[in-house]
Amino acid sequence: MPRIDADLKLDFKDVLLRPKRSSLKSRSEVDLERTFTFRNSKQTYSGIPIIVANMDTVGTFEMAVVMSQHAMFTAVHKHYSLDDWKCFAETHPECLQHVAVSSGSGQNDLERMSRILEAVPQVKFICLDVANGYSEHFVEFVKLVRSKFPEHTIMAGNVVTGEMVEELILSGADIIKVGVGPGSVCTTRTKTGVGYPQLSAVIECADSAHGLKGHIISDGGCTCPGDVAKAFGAGADFVMLGGMFSGHTECAGEVIERNGQKLKLFYGMSSDTAMKKHAGGVAEYRASEGKTVEVPYKGDVENTILDILGGLRSTCTYVGAAKLKELSRRATFIRVTQQHNTVFG
């Protein structure tokens, strides 16, 4: 018999953070840097834990250059060649501590990633990304990668429930990517009916991960700096962004001009567009699970970064957190029915 879980699960749009008394005098006093030691790799990380998603439009080397200047992180997409990587490593050695090499669970991906990690040993992060992190095949793959790279920090996902977070951590992953279907260009929920509201997923998965001294990334669903703050408040150690970083100079693809408006293409990595580009089309037995949109061109990503970090600092002052680290301890979410006054849109 099918079962219905009675308690309602929540999205970012269902909550706001309750203000709390604070002794902070200015937003500028807030420290957004975090330091982590990872459970399995034993590596130590320090930086502002916001990650550019490993999508071929946003997870670019150009993006990584700007991000690393702010101590932010980039999961570089898996479609760069070994030569692209060597060239990047030579010209931008300062960026390498803030990037991850990505791979799916296929044999070709793994071989390509292994060559990159051998050629560029300064890269210490691996991002293992599959649509459905629940398959036993993926668990085996994580174990294999852990045994091949014992000292690299492994991000793995995506999943949305505590028991699978635990399984992946115990299989060798350090940081679990959390999110099924919340992304702005993801159509998994429409195509399959499968998913989990992101705020509840982050709260539940963070709890499981932290119990094992593991970490999580909230991946997808953030549409504004306030959502990023809510994700950290819910317990995310890292927040990964795709749509919010799309449409910038540093994104892949040309600027399109139409009716005097400048646009850039953004699409999900299982969309028709991506599957045509990288796999020669959508296979017969599957549906595309992503969409393609034209987003307004927003100029350099620097401005967007400052907007996000400024928003986060302001959140911290509202709830009295002197450091990003304290945000989740100071977070009380209240349930709401609307986010903002819509009278002027």
Residue numbers at the binding site for other proteins (CB under 8 A): 1-11, 13-14, 132, 134-137, 159-161, 163-164, 167, 180-197, 220-221, 223, 243, 266, 282-289, 291-295
| CB 335 to other proteins: min, Å | 10
Concerning whether 188 is annotated as a catalytic residue, the answer is: yes
| CB 209 to other proteins: min, Å | 17
Helix 301-319 / helix 61-69 crossing angle, nearest 10 deg: 40
Cβ proximity of 52 and 75 under 8 Å:
yes
With respect to other proteins, which residue has the nearer C-beta, 120 or 186?
Answer: 186
The count of other CB atoms within 10 Å of the CB of residue 65 is: 18
With respect to other proteins, which residue has the nearer C-beta, 68 or 188?
Answer: 188
Burial of residue 158 (CB within 10 Å: 0-12, 13-18, 19+) is buried
Question: Pick the catalytic residue: 60, 161, 188, 273?
Answer: 188
Concerning whether 224 is annotated as a catalytic residue, the answer is: no
Question: Pick the catalytic residue: 60, 153, 161, 186?
Answer: 186
CA distances from 326 to 33, 91, 126, 175, 286 (A): 11, 37, 27, 20, 44
With respect to other proteins, which residue has the nearer C-beta, 221 or 226?
Answer: 221
In angstroms and rounded to an integer, the radius of gyration of the C-alpha atoms of the chain is: 19
The Cα–Cα gap between 94 and 257 comes to 35
288 is in an annotated binding site: yes
Q: What is the DSSP letter of 254?
A: P
With respect to other proteins, which residue has the nearer C-beta, 47 or 225?
Answer: 225
The residues annotated with a catalytic role in the active site are 186, 188
Per the annotation, binding residues are: 26-27, 78, 129-131, 180-181, 183, 186, 189, 219-221, 242-243, 268-270, 285-290, 314-317
Per the annotation, binding residues for K(+) are: 181, 183, 186, 189
